[in-house]
Copies of this chain bind each other. A is one copy, B any other.
């Protein structure tokens, strides 16, 4: 059995060693070292020509939760299962990232930082959490883990998804028709949607203005769900109080992009939830063994749906 890897350069050695150790029955090589028939691909942002070297591939593992980049590659072979990392240690990280952003907004960290710079001692009034609703845009594994964590802090929770879901402690909304009501009650909107043709550009001027006055946005999903110019305008006209962004249309975010220096934006370089090598490799090895025995595996992407 032969597994071909393509990973970010910085971690290629780590992935290679870990996968070889977890799957001693396989030969593991790194692209472009692909000398013979490839059984499995484990890839992150592969070059288009890589798929040509694996005409008989049985499954393609995407080394991350978001498969949107892979789905858009014309060379991606049809009919081969694409399997994404499920959790892989990402849910815990996402819970930390979103909880930090929500508490920072609720406790007015940005206001107090400005007061500190001015040498101003001024206590802001107590805010009742009942008036600080958090809306989760996307109720997959990550969204549900985030909901469970935020529920413990007493924030009122709502969640929106393509199809209706039932999540304990979360008032759920579904489909385009229920999106305006969901947005109107989200003092804090947390975007955890996959990037698909249906979600790209979703957060445009009209939808951002359906959020209540003074609302906050967190985008830890994909940059292309937000219309950048519309977000900047909503911050500039005061409708939105802040945005915490971890993902962007182009990454790294170009040096000249207005997000960098915008006073209402907190920006991180796509670190909200990174794929952890050890957890992911254990998952891939277990799934390859199941596939070799003819068993079904979870995490197979629905190509029609896009995630």
Contact = CB atoms under 8 A, between A and B. Distances in A.
Interface of A: 92-93, 95-97, 99-100, 103-104, 106-107, 109, 112-113, 115-117, 119, 121-124, 126, 149, 152-154, 251-253, 255, 260-261, 266-271, 274, 276
B113 A109 contact: no
Nearest to A116: B267
Contacts of A154: 92
A100 B107 contact: yes
Given A96-B106, A116-B267, A122-B269, 20 more contacts: A93-B126, A96-B153, A97-B107, A100-B103, A112-B267, A112-B268, A112-B269, A113-B266, A116-B260, A119-B255, A119-B260, A119-B261, A121-B251, A121-B252, A121-B253, A123-B269, A123-B274, A124-B271, A126-B274, A126-B276
A276 to B, nearest CB: 7
B92 A99 contact: no
Contacts of A271: 112, 123-124
Contacts of A119: 255, 260-261
A170 to B, nearest CB: 18
- Copies of this protein in the assembly total 2
Contacts of A152: 149, 152
Contacts of A251: 121
A13 B123 CA distance: 18
A266 B104 CA distance: 13
Contacts of A276: 126
Contact of A104 (B104, B126, B260): B104
